[in-house]
Structure 1
Amino acid sequence: MRVLVTGASGFVGSHTVAALLEAGHTPRALVRDPAKATRALEAAGADPARVELVTGDMLDETAVGRALEGCRAAIHAAAAVGVTGRGGDLVEVNLGGTRNVVGGAVERGLDPVVHVSTVAVFVPPRDPVITVDGPLASPRTAYGRSKVAAERYVRRLQDQGAPVTVVYPGGVCGPHQPVLDSLMEGLVGALRLVWPLPPGGVGVIDVRDLAEALARALVPGRGPRRWLLGGHYLTWRQCSDLCRELTGVRHRRLPVPGGALRAAGTLLDALRRVRPFDYPLTRDAAEFMTRLVPTDDRPALEELGMKLRPVEQTLSDALRWLAEAGHLDPRKAGRLAPPAEEH
């Protein structure tokens, strides 16, 4: 089927297009910069010649409407993340884009319409394990507020019977991220400078597994659905230990109380407004790092007929690519670094 995809220039969207092609679908991508999208698609293993590229912005309702014409399903994977300090008016972008893409697809009768949300809408959580029935959070951060606002809008559509599937991924990880952000940027900062060890942890979901799940979600007639795909949950010490094991390199680590890390994120945010610098700790990132708990992914994986690849493979592929792409000093990647003549 012909499927509209937003975010094809980004991490999740580009891999999703590759998964759609593999599954025999015809992807149509709404992109602002076709050249940038082409590079991202090629890196993710998708042949751009087999993808219909439509130039436009998800905030332009008319452009979105043109892109939706003739499609039978849609996957809304575009979003401003901004967890590590990037992004403008996140509420305007994430809520406005969701209204145009998801709302526009529902109005035109597309089925299903897949909305890529985030486990952040449940953080800080009420229970020791996050489920799709858990209460939505009341976040203090701009990113969290923007995603909760979009979530409430999508749930209103679901309450009206719209065939919207919401997917909640955790920390997306793997090779070929067009612009480093979130977990991938955090790995570089932790290995390059110092790895903080606060309470809490991270859910690691391979971008290729997430893309496959989104492609498998394209079954019409199932009605509204909500799926958690937080991935493999690791405490920060477990994640650090695993990176040490995979690379063979002992990086610097710093145990830190959760409150202190959140305070540090707030301070760094203030300092960046005076003089920008490159370290991916913000109040948003500290909030997720210290508050996240495991997610119950079992219902989604069972319905999708999937099994997540081992987290060791995901982190190995991510760290190897970070070194190959020049984002990570080969000395920090250790045994995962490319041969000396290649860097």
Structure 2
Amino acid sequence: MKVLLTGATGLLGVHLAGELLNQGYDVRAMYRSLPHQFNQLPWFREIDWIKAAITEPADCVRAMKGCQAVIHAASRTEPYPTQLAAYYEANIAGTDHILAAVRRCDVSRLVYVSTASVFRPGTLENPATEESPYAFHLMSSGYIASKYEAQQRVLSAVDQGVNAVIVNPAFMLGPYDFKPSSGAVIKYAMKNRLLFYPGSGGKSFIDVRDAARATVKALRLGQPGASYLLANEHLPYERFFQMLARLSGKRKTLVPIPAPLIRMAGTLSSAGEWLFRKPVPLNRINATLLTQDNYYSGEKARRELRMPVSPVSRAIEEAMEWFDNR
């Protein structure tokens, strides 16, 4: 079976390409540009690379011809600016173009990569599941709102006969983070002696390779129309930054920032964003996300997609080693 992969140059996409090959699939990967040193990936020459954009309908059809399945992992993922419009073309229109091409090319299976953040997060004691309500209180995040809308369009396509499955990864960590994306927090911990972190809240983390394996397994094992949260280890920010400091191998001083201070800074930054029409990393909604519990259960994916459970510490160690050798 030949699988078209979008988003192949992102952190998850890189590992999806390798895992698809490992599970015996032929892989065609769409790209707009290749990061520096990307061709040094061990599986780079085993991929059928095609230069194309998900924002161009004709490109999607051209890339999909001859493929029997699609994993759509491409999206704009940075958590700012606030406005939904900034994410519309890549995350919503791009998904529409992929869905149209799936119908036109008679593709037998689509796996759409959404995000855990579309679901209302739970607590350490009671993590959110796929049955949790959607996070409508967080939709002032343009990113979350765009992923929610794209997910709804995939679900609507399922109702119209498209054989599609959705995976919703939590915070992924691991090597080969070329941009970097989530790896930015690892680089921050490697480079700085003083580590500032939110004084409250936490996240669900997952080794990106576990997420990639579950996503590829969804091609065969996922139930049409089902969503699968990909999450493993639940860590309050204090424990997570203690882990980063320890694994860095260098002396670090950890400084918690009180949640009210972070939220105040986010509110002021949002006012500046509105006034000057320039996006800022710490806006009101991102300050909220940084200081709340963001915990999700991966039990369904472990049960139905055979998702492995690897220690997040290993993912961090290997990411640090990779960054050191770049």
TM-score by length of 1: 0.82
Over 3 Å counting, the alpha-carbon distance change for 1:222 and 1:265 in structure 2 is same
- Show the counterpart of 2:74: 78
1:56 equivalent to 2:52? Answer yes
SS in 2 for 1:167: strand
- Show the counterpart of 1:118: 115
- Structure 1 position 282, deviation (Å): 4.8
How many Å separate the matches in 2 of 1:226 and 1:56? 28
Aligned residue type for 1:71: C
Over 3 Å counting, the alpha-carbon distance change for 1:246 and 1:146 in structure 2 is same
Cα pair 1:76 1:102 within 8 Å, conserved: no
- Show the counterpart of 2:187: 188
- Structure 1 position 41, deviation (Å): 5.6
- After alignment, is 161-170 or 185-194 more displaced? 185-194
Alignment of structure 1 residues 38-57 onto 2, 5 Å: 39-40=37-38, 42-43=40-41, 45-48=42-45, 50-57=46-53
- Structure 1 position 104, deviation (Å): 2.5
How many Å separate the matches in 2 of 1:146 and 1:162? 21
How many Å separate the matches in 2 of 1:149 and 1:71? 26
- Show the counterpart of 1:260: 261
Over 3 Å counting, the alpha-carbon distance change for 1:124 and 1:216 in structure 2 is closer
SS in 1 for 2:219: coil
- Show the counterpart of 1:338: none
Counting matched residue pairs gives: 319
- Show the counterpart of 2:301: 300
- Structure 1 position 129, deviation (Å): 1.6
SS in 2 for 1:217: helix
SS in 2 for 1:219: helix
Aligned residue type for 2:235: L
Over 3 Å counting, the alpha-carbon distance change for 1:41 and 1:225 in structure 2 is farther
Aligned residue type for 2:213: E
Question: Which runs of 5 or more structure 2 residues have no equivalent in the other structure?
Answer: none
Encode CA deviations 1:89-118: one digit per residue, 9 max, x unaligned. Answer: 112320011111134214533222000111
- Show the counterpart of 2:106: 109
Cα pair 2:8 2:14 within 8 Å, conserved: yes
- Structure 1 position 168, deviation (Å): 0.5
How many Å separate the matches in 2 of 1:152 and 1:258? 32
SS in 2 for 1:89: helix
- Show the counterpart of 2:90: 93
TM-score by length of 2: 0.86
State percent identity of aligned pairs: 29
Over 3 Å counting, the alpha-carbon distance change for 1:249 and 1:21 in structure 2 is same
- Structure 1 position 39, deviation (Å): 4.1
Cα pair 1:197 1:253 within 8 Å, conserved: no
CA RMSD of aligned residues (A): 3.0
Aligned residue type for 1:167: V
Cα pair 1:9 1:38 within 8 Å, conserved: no
How many Å separate the matches in 2 of 1:189 and 1:243? 10
- Show the counterpart of 1:233: 234
Encode CA deviations 1:175-227: one digit per residue, 9 max, x unaligned. Answer: 1111012x321333355253213321122211211122222222179422211
How many Å separate the matches in 2 of 1:321 and 1:208? 15
Over 3 Å counting, the alpha-carbon distance change for 1:21 and 1:84 in structure 2 is same
How many Å separate the matches in 2 of 1:144 and 1:72? 29
Aligned residue type for 1:143: Y
How many Å separate the matches in 1 of 2:223 and 2:189? 42
- Structure 1 position 317, deviation (Å): 1.2
Aligned residue type for 1:12: L
Over 3 Å counting, the alpha-carbon distance change for 1:293 and 1:256 in structure 2 is same
Aligned residue type for 1:168: N
